Amino acid sequence: MSSNVEQDIDIMYGLKTVLSRIEIAVSKRSKDLPQIVPTLIAVSKIKPASLIIQAYEAGQRHFGENYVNELSEKANDPQILELCKDIKWHFIGHLQTNKINKLLQSPKLYIVETVDSAKLADNLNKQWEKFRQGDERLRVMVQVNTSAEEAKNGIEPSETSTLVKHVLENCPNLNLKGLMTIGQYDYDVSLGPNPDFLLLAKCREEVCQNLNLDINDVELSMGMSADYEHAIELGATSVRVGSTIFGARPLKK
């Protein structure tokens, strides 16, 4: 990417805009929902280290990546290691078993948001012992396929409690933080609340009821650049925003 393109992107302005919109969305959120301040995850996929450093210097700490190789490369980037000591990497893509070690070796890996099977949970649980610092458990989220689309990963909504229970009872090295969904793209909000977001919130209620968990301890990662405000109004505790901060990504060839 040429430096001219980078200069055209005002990261500070993008971040400020998103954070102020998050605040407005929080003020519209139902008082019945957990009153958790939502975390902004800046999705930096295919963006250069220089823009990540700019966002970090503007106060952003949580960054999301979809591909293990890219997260690993950025997490090990000498400049990022030197200048972004408190960076927190979220893995938000599909995780293949053969990439687990590479992911877990990445410095400052904060959470894996895409656990979609007991097998993957077991593998992460087993491998984390090699890489963890001290007694810190690996934060994870269970990914739910709320839109029933073949192309999307995640477990069936009806299986959410079963997988959460498996993580809690059989994976002592994992720290379950909540549920995540991608949901369908370009949902038209004029048709009413996004059913994918409502369904993830419903999955959380069922999980908390079935397993006797405190709803305030179970986060919801949902919403992206196009719909993060709507997601927050429906209970999102973290949103994944890329293009609004970093500028549009080039279209796939």
User: 212-241 pLDDT, tens per residue?
Assistant: 999 999 999 999 999 999 999 999 999 999
For the domain made up of 11-241, give the CATH fold. Answer: TIM Barrel (3.20.20)
Q: Average pLDDT in the 118-128 region?
A: 97
pLDDT at position 189? 87
Query: How far is Cα 118 from Cα 131, in angstroms, rounded to an integer?
Result: 20
Say if residue 252's pLDDT is above 80: no
Domain range annotation of the chain: 11-241
Query: How far is Cα 149 from Cα 154, in angstroms, rounded to an integer?
Result: 10
pLDDT at position 170? 98
pLDDT at position 115? 98
Say if residue 207's pLDDT is above 60: yes
Could you count the other beta carbons within 10 Å of the beta carbon of residue 82? Answer: 9
Q: Average pLDDT in the 151-175 region?
A: 96
pLDDT in tens, 1-50: 344 444 567 899 999 999 999 999 999 999 999 889 999 999 999 999 99
Two structure tokens written together for 149: 């689309």
Compute the chain's Rg from CA coordinates.
18
Transcribe 186-240 into DSSP letters. Answer: T--GGGSS-HHHHHHHHHHHHHHHHHT--GGGSEEE---TTTHHHHHHTT-SEEE
pLDDT at position 87? 98
Q: What percent of the chain has pLDDT over 90?
A: 84
Q: What percent of the chain has pLDDT over 70?
A: 95
pLDDT at position 3? 45
